[in-house]
Structure 1
Amino acid sequence: REKKRENRDKIKVKKKIVAKKQETVTEKKEEFSVQGDHVEGKVDYNKLCAQFGCDLVTQNLLERFEKLTKKKPHEMIRRGLYYAHRDFDKILDAYEKGEPFYLYTGRGPSSESMHLGHTVPFIINKHLQEAFNVPLVIQITDDEKFFLKEQIKTIEEAYRLARENAKDIIAMGFDITKTFIFIDTDYIKYLYPNTIRVQEKITYSQMKAIFGVDDSSNIGKIAYPPIQTVPAFSSTFAIPFGNKKMKCLIPCAIDQDPYFRLCRDVAPKLNEEKPSCLYSKFMSSLRGPKGKMSASDENSAIYLSDSPKQIRDKIMKHAFSGGQDTEEKQSLLGADLDSDVSYQYLTFFLKDDKLLHSLGNDYKSGKLQSSHIKSKLCDILIPFVLKFQENRKLVTDDILEAFMAIYFQFSQVFLNLINRKFFQSNVVFYTKPSGNGTIRKQFNNDKQSYKGRVGGFIKKRILIFKSYGTCNKQKAVIWGFGEKGGQYYKAQYFTLLKLKKNIFCLVLGKSYENPTEVVDLKVFSSVKSSEDSTNKKHSFDVYSTDMRHSFVATSESEKEDWIRHIGKAIVLTNKKVIPKTNS
C-alpha cells in the first residue's frame, strides 16, 4: 500500500508540473527582439522567419543538395540549425547549370579572440565551399565595430582586432586558392564605388525603419549598412573575379537579414544579381536560451583562446541546465532539452546523429543527469578548441597577407608551350601588388606537401618568395612550414632563360635544368619600376591584367638592366611574327 501511495503521489506531482507547463504554453508568448547584433528574449524562430519574409529549409531542398553535390548536408543543416533561406533553390539551379557563383560571409571584430558562436558560419561556409567548389569572400568589418562598440576607442585598435580575428578564421582551415579575406579599411577603394551607388538609392527613413538608427546615432552607424551589402555584388570583386557577373550565396545568422533585404531591394535598380541567403539560429549564451553569445560578455561564451580548465569550469559551473534541481526530480520528470544549453551546444558540435538522438531521449526521460550531458560536451569541445589553437599558432602575418592578396586568382603555369623538362611540379600561384615585394604560391599536386594535417590546416602549404641580389643571378630566400611547424630556409636564384624561339621565362633555381619555379613570360604583358607602389628601392614588377610578381634589385642600374631584358623578352614572346634575332 505504501508503494502504491508513493507512486500515486509521484504521478500527482508529475501531472501538476505538466499542467503548469501547458498553462505556460497557452499564455501569451514572451516578447523577443532581434535587431542587428542585439538579441533579447527567447527567439521564436518560425515567427521571426515569417516577420522577415524568409522561406523554411525543406527536406526536398536538402535532398536536392545531396543529389547535386554528392555530399550529405552538414549536420547543422540536417538538424535545422540552418533553417531558413532566401532563394537557396536558385543557387542549386545555378550549380546544376554550371553557372558561376560565390560565397560571402563576414566577421565583426569586437574581441581579441572569437568564441564558439563565431565559428558556426565559418564551419558551414567551409562545408559549402568544399561541396560546391566555389570562391569565398570574407569581410572583416573594423569600421562597423569602431562606430558601434564603445570599448573600441580608435580605428587602429579596431584594425588590430580585425587582423587577429582574420587569423582565427584562417585557422579554421580554408582553401587559400579559393578564399579572399579583406578588412574594410584596407579594401575601401574597391568597396566605395558600389557603396555610393547603394547609398544613393536609400533614404534616412528606410535606415530608421530597418536598422533602428535615430537622430542621436553617429553618422558612421547610419552610413555603414551599404558597406556590408555591397560584397554581395560580384562587381565589388572585379579584380579577383575577373569582371564576371556571378550570383552570391550568404550563409549567416538570421539577425543579418535586414542588411540583405536592403541589398535585394536595391540590386535590380543597379543591374546586380539579388543575393541568396541561408540563415542559422543563434548559439545561445551560456547563461540560457534568451539571446545569443556575446563577445562583449566574457561569462556568456566559450572563447577559442580558453584553456581546457576554463572550458570545463564554464560548462560545469555556469552552463544553464534544463534538468531538475535534484537527482530524484530529474529521474522522475526529465529535462527540458530546448532550454538546456549543454544539450543545445551538442546539437551544433556532436557529429554523430544517433548518439545525439540517444542522449536527448535519455536526458529528456530522466535516465541521464545534467552532469552527464555537461561532461559529454566538455569531451567534444575541449579537443575542438585545442586543435584550433594548434592551427592558430601556425598562422603568421605572411600567411594572413597571402589570404588578403587582392590578386588572389590563380592560374596554372604548366603550359604546353614550355618544354616540360623545366618543371619540377605542376604549380598554381597568385601574387599581391603590395609593399612587401613578395611572390606567393602554392604547390597543388606535390603529395609530400600535404603531409602533417592538423585539423584541416596544411603545413608546408604556403611558400613565400622574396628576391634580392644581382642582375644575372637573382638570389631569393624561400621559407615555409617545416614538418614540426617551424621555419626552414633555402637559397635559390632567378635567371632569365630563353627556352625556344619566342619562348622566354624566369626560372627559380640554382640550375635551370632542374628549377623549382618557372614563370612563363607569355602570361605577362609588361614590366616596369614599382618603387611608388612597393615603397622599396630598386623594385620592379612583372605583371598581367590579373597577377603581378614583384622583385627587388640591389642597385638602380641592375634594376634597369632587368627591366630592359625582361621587357624585350615579353615583346618577343608575345609577337605573332617573330623577327630573326641573335639575342
Structure 2
Amino acid sequence: MTDDDFTVTPYAVQGDVDYERVLDQFGADELTEAERERFPEPLHPLIKRGIFYGGRDVEAYLDAIDEDEQVSIVTGRGPSGPMHIGHVFPLYLAKYLQDRTGAHVYIPISDDEKYFAKDQDFDDIQGWAKDNITEIMAVGFDPEKTRIVVDSADADVIYPWAAKFAKRYTQSTVNATYGDPDNVGLSFYPAVQATHLLLPQLVHGRHRTIVPIAVDQDPHIRLCRDVAAKEDYDVHKPSALLSRFFPQLKGDGGKMSSSDQNPTIYLSDDRETVREKIQTYAFSGGQTSLEEHREKGGDPDVDVAYQLLYYFFEEDDAKVEELAAEYRSGELLTGELKNYAADKVSDFLEQHQERKAALGDFHEEISEYTLTDEERATLTEDLLY
C-alpha cells in the first residue's frame, strides 16, 4: 500500500508506518491479547510485547497446537547481502515454536527473486545465499525437522509446482498487488512464493502452517491463500503472523536494511563495532543536555537503543519496565542506555557467532537440512521422469 505519509510493499518501505492502517488496508487481523496468551509458554517477547501484532487464521493454528496436531512454520530469506539483526528475529521465533511444538520448519532461499529484483550478478547472489544459509544454520534448528530449500538448487521440485500455481494467477492480479513488475521473472515469482508457503503440506499432507513475516510481505501470503482456496489440492490456506519492522538505527519509522547506506548491525559485528554503531547512530529519545535530561527525562518510545531491548534483546519484562521508568525519570542517561543495549546485542551476537564457528564443512552441514530422497519423491511423483 502507498499512503501520503508512508509506503509498505514487498519491495519498498518508506516513512513512519501506521501499522493499524496497514492491517486494515491488507485485510489482516490484529493479534488479540487472548491469542497471544495461547502461544506456548513461556511466551516469547516478540509475541508478548506485540512485535508480532497481526495475522491471518492464527486461531486455527493455535487450535492445532492445543490439539497436539502436526504443525509447520515457513520463514525464508532473500540473499542479496549480509544478514543483520533485523533478519534473524523471525528465525529465532520459528526456533522457539519448533522447540515447543515439534513443528516442521521450511526455510526457502529465494535467490531467483533477488536476482530478478536486485542489480547484482547471479554469482554474487549465490555467494550471499551460501553466507546466509550458514547464518541460518547457526540459529540451531532441529535438522531432522528443518528443510532449507534453495530455488535455483531445488528447481526440480519447486518449478513444477510453481507452474501449476502460476496458471491460477493473472497478470492484472500481480500488477494490482505489486505494481508493474520490472521483468517477467518478478511476474512469475508469486507462483514460486506460493510453492514455498504450501511446501510443508505438499510434503507431509494437510496440516496447519504459519508464516512469521514482516507485514510488508503479507501480499505474498494473501495471493497464496487465494490460490490455495482455488486449487484441488488437499491443503489449508497458510496462516500468517505479521510483525512490525525492526527499527533502523537512525529511527524515523522505517525498517533496518542491508541494501542502503544507513548504518546497520550485522550478525558478524564484534562487540566494539556494535558499541560504536549504537553510540554513534542510534536515535536518542533523550534531551540535548545532561541538566535538561535529569529534569525532563527521555522518551523510550522513540529511543532506538530502548527499542532494540524491547523488541528482542532483553527477555526480562521487569528489566524492560525498569529501564523505561528510569529513562523517563531522567535517572538513566542516554549514554548509559546505549551501553546497556550494546552489551545485550553483543552478548546475543557472540553466542550466535560461536554456533556459526562450530559448524563444519558447509556441504556436509547443509546436507542435514536438504529434502530427503523420500520427500523429493513425494513432490515429484507425478512428473514424466
Give the equivalent residue in structure 2 for 1:401.
366
Is 1:133 aligned with 2:133?
A: no
What do the CA deviations read for 1:298-335 (whole angstroms, capped 9, x no partner)? 54310011122111110001111111111122222222
TM-aligned CA distance change 1:256 to 1:378, over 3 Å:
same
Secondary structure of the structure 2 residue equivalent to 1:186:
coil
Equivalent of residue 103 in structure 1, options 73, 98, 102: 73
Q: Which residue of 2 aligns with 1:565?
A: none
1:264 corresponds to which letter in structure 2? R
Classify 1:545/1:353 alpha carbon distance in 2 versus 1 (closer, same or farther; 3 Å). closer
User: Which of 1 and 2 has higher RCO (CA within 8 Å, sep 6+)?
Assistant: 2
- Tell me, in whole angstroms, the C-alpha distance in 1 between the residues paired with 2:76 and 2:200: 18
Whether the aligned pair in 2 keeps the contact of 1:191 and 1:236 (CA below 8 Å) is no
5+ residue gaps, structure 2, are 380-385
Displacement of 1:37: 3.7
In 2, Cα distance between equivalents of 1:234 and 1:114: 24
Who is 1:379 aligned against?
Answer: 343
Helix, strand or coil: the match of 1:279?
Answer: strand
In structure 2, the residue matched to 1:191 is: 158
Is 1:211 the equivalent of 2:178?
Answer: yes
**Counterpart of 2:62?**
92
Distance 1:545 1:256, change over 3 A: closer
Paired residue secondary structure (1:119): helix
Higher relative helix content:
2
Q: What secondary structure does 2:286 align onto?
A: coil
Instruction: Tell me if 1:220 matches 2:185.
Output: yes
1:369 aligned residue (333, 344, 350): 333
Evaluate the alpha carbon distance shift between residue 30 and residue 363 of structure 1 in structure 2; reply closer, same or farther with a 3 A threshold: farther
Q: Which residue does the alignment assign to 1:149?
A: 118
> What displacement does 1:237 show?
4.4
Aligned equivalents of 2:273, 2:199: Cα separation in 1: 42
Residue 390 (structure 1) aligned to one of 333, 339, 354: 354
C-alpha contact 2:201 2:207 (8 A) present in aligned 1: no
**Where is the strand percentage greater, Structure 1 or Structure 2?**
1
Say which SS state the counterpart of residue 302 (structure 1) adopts: coil
Q: Deviations over 1:196-245 (max 9, x none)?
A: 2221111111111111225xx1111221122112222147743xx3xx22
State the shift of 1:30 in Å. Answer: 6.9
What does residue 315 of structure 1 align with?
278
Q: Say if 2:144 and 2:369, in contact at 8 Å, map to a contact too.
A: no
Does structure 2 retain, via aligned residues, the 8 Å contact 1:171–1:388? yes
**Is the 1:177–1:408 contact (alpha carbons within 8 Å) kept by the matching residues of 2?**
no
Deviation of 1:357 after TM superposition, in Å, equals: 0.4
Report the CA distance between 1:128 and its aligned residue. Answer: 0.8
Aligned residues: 373
Partner of 1:250: 211
Work out which of the residue numbers 177, 198, 201 in structure 1 matches 2:168: 201
Distance 1:176 1:51 in 2: 38
CA distance in 1, matches of 2:371, 2:60: 28
Compare CA radii of gyration and give the structure with the larger one: 1
Runs of 5+ unmatched residues, structure 1: 1-28, 410-431, 434-543, 547-583
Structure 2 match to 1:51: 25
1:138-162 Cα offsets, whole Å, 9 max, x none, are 0111111111111x12x22212211
Partner Cα separation in structure 1 for residue 247 and residue 67 of structure 2: 38
Q: Judge which range, 359-368 or 226-235, deviates more.
A: 226-235
Q: What amino acid does structure 2 have at the position aligned with 1:381?
A: V
Aligned counterparts, 1:257-268, within 5 A: 257-268=218-229
1:332 to 295, 300, 312: 295
d(CA) in 2 for partners of 1:233, 1:122: 18
Q: Distance in 1 between matches of 2:206 and 2:160?
A: 16
For residues 98 and 309 of structure 1, do their structure 2 counterparts lie closer, same or farther at Cα, with a shift above 3 Å needed?
Answer: closer
Instruction: Tell me the percent identity.
Output: 37
Shift of 1:284: 1.4
Shift of 1:394: 2.1
Relative to structure 1, is the Cα distance of residues 235 and 339 closer, same or farther in structure 2, using a 3 angstrom cutoff? closer
Q: Distance in 2 between matches of 1:30 and 1:220?
A: 30
Q: TM-score by structure 1 length?
A: 0.61
Residue in 1 that maps onto 2:42: 72
* Residue 184 of structure 1: how far off its partner (Å): 0.6
Output the CA distance in 2 between the equivalents of 1:237 and 1:301. 37
Q: Report the TM-score, using the length of structure 2 for normalisation.
A: 0.91
Q: Is this contact kept in 2: 1:181–1:403, CA < 8 A? A: no
Instruction: Out of 97-106 and 74-83, give the one that drifted further.
Output: 97-106
> Over residues 273-315 of structure 1, what are the superposed CA-to-partner deviations in whole Å (9 max), with x where a residue is unaligned?
2000111111111111331111113543100111221111100
Shift of the 196–79 alpha-carbon distance from structure 1 to 2, 3 Å rule, reads same
Q: What corresponds to 2:383 in structure 1?
A: none
Distance 2:142 2:268 in 1: 23
For 2:26 and 2:350, the matched residues in 1 are separated by 38
1:178 and 1:211, CA in 2 relative to 1: closer, same or farther beyond 3 A?
A: same
Calculate the aligned-residue CA RMSD, in Å: 2.1
> Alignment partner of 2:280: what SS?
helix
